[in-house]
């Protein structure tokens, strides 16, 4: 086949191709960029997180304030929380928010919007058409009724170390984060905050009385 004929056929084939090709990009929420100023915790990239989640900034703000038990305010692209918090605490709350208010339970995509039907919040998916009631978790303090409680002291074994360097232990159904603890260490910890099945703690003195 002459080169001119081949190029002509190739050109016609290209013209029949769709102008756009569907992209399957992995949904990614930016990791919180956190720094401490005394007893204040600042999330410097709060605006980027909001852009990724496509939610009202005030909605995420009120959720975080309630879950973290602290006052705070949005300042431009930053979120200022008036308490000393760990990256693990903030990351956990944002992940829970994403699972509750953003991701579709059917297809797992973030292409959703929140509507209100009467007194019920409903998450509607624009990708697959699914809709479900938004099931907001009960207060994290409800876990106190099941044995482990905030302020309690427990003995744990550090089984792993997380990405941020926090030790990870398991106690009953709970995953407990312990700042600076090394894998294989057995120690007493004091629970500072409980969120679902996740607890955040600090090392307790060796002579601390167990709960």
pLDDT in tens, 34-60: 999 888 999 999 999 999 999 999 999
Determine which of 33-42, 75-84, 168-177, 182-191 has the lowest per-residue pLDDT on average.
168-177
DSSP labels, 14-71: HHHS-S-----PPP-PPPP-EEEETTEEEETTHHHHHHHHT--HHHHHHHHHHHHT--
Asked if residue 10 has pLDDT above 70, the reply is: no
* Residue 20: per-residue pLDDT: 39
* Residue 141: per-residue pLDDT: 43
Q: How far is CA 86 from CA 43, 45, 98, in A?
A: 11, 16, 19
Pairing of strands 198-203, 174-178: parallel
* Residue 143: per-residue pLDDT: 45
Q: How far is CA 107 from CA 21, 54, 94, 130, 194, in A?
A: 20, 18, 20, 8, 29
* Residue 25: per-residue pLDDT: 54
How far apart CA 106 and CA 96 sit, in angstroms, is: 17
* Residue 7: per-residue pLDDT: 58
Compute the average pLDDT of residues 181-207.
Answer: 87
How does pLDDT run across 91-139, given as a tens digit for each residue? Answer: 989 998 998 999 988 888 899 999 887 778 889 999 888 888 887 654 4
Which residues are within 8 A (CB) of 57 and not within 5 positions of it... i.e. 6 or more apart? 46, 47, 50, 74
* Residue 74: per-residue pLDDT: 96
DSSP secondary-structure letter at 136? P
How far apart CA 165 and CA 178 sit, in angstroms, is: 9
* Residue 19: per-residue pLDDT: 44
* Residue 139: per-residue pLDDT: 46
Asked if residue 8 has pLDDT above 80, the reply is: no
* Nearest in space to 33 (alpha carbons), one of 11, 48, 19, 21: 48
Supply the mean pLDDT for the chain.
82
């Amino acid at each position: 086949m002459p080169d001119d004929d081949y190029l002509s056929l190739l050109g016609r084939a290209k013209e029949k191709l769709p102008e756009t090709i569907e992209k399957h990009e992995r949904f990614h929420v930016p990791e919180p960029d956190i720094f401490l100023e005394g007893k204040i915790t600042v999330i410097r990239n709060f605006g980027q997180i909001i852009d990724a989640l496509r939610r009202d900034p005030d909605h995420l703000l009120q959720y975080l304030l309630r879950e973290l038990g602290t006052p705070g305010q949005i300042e431009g692209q930053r979120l200022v929380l008036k308490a000393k918090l760990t990256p693990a605490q903030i990351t956990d709350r944002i992940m829970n928010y994403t699972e509750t208010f953003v991701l579709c339970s059917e297809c797992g995509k973030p292409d959703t919007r929140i509507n209100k039907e009467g007194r019920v919040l409903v998450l509607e998916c624009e990708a697959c058409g699914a809709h479900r009631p938004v099931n907001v978790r009960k207060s994290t303090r409800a876990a106190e009724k099941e044995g482990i409680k905030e302020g309690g002291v427990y003995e744990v074994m550090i089984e792993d170390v997380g990405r941020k360097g926090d030790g990870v232990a398991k106690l009953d159904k709970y995953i407990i984060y312990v700042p600076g603890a090394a894998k294989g260490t057995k120690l007493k910890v004091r629970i500072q905050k409980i969120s679902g099945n996740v607890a955040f703690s600090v090392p307790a003195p060796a002579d601390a009385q167990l709960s």
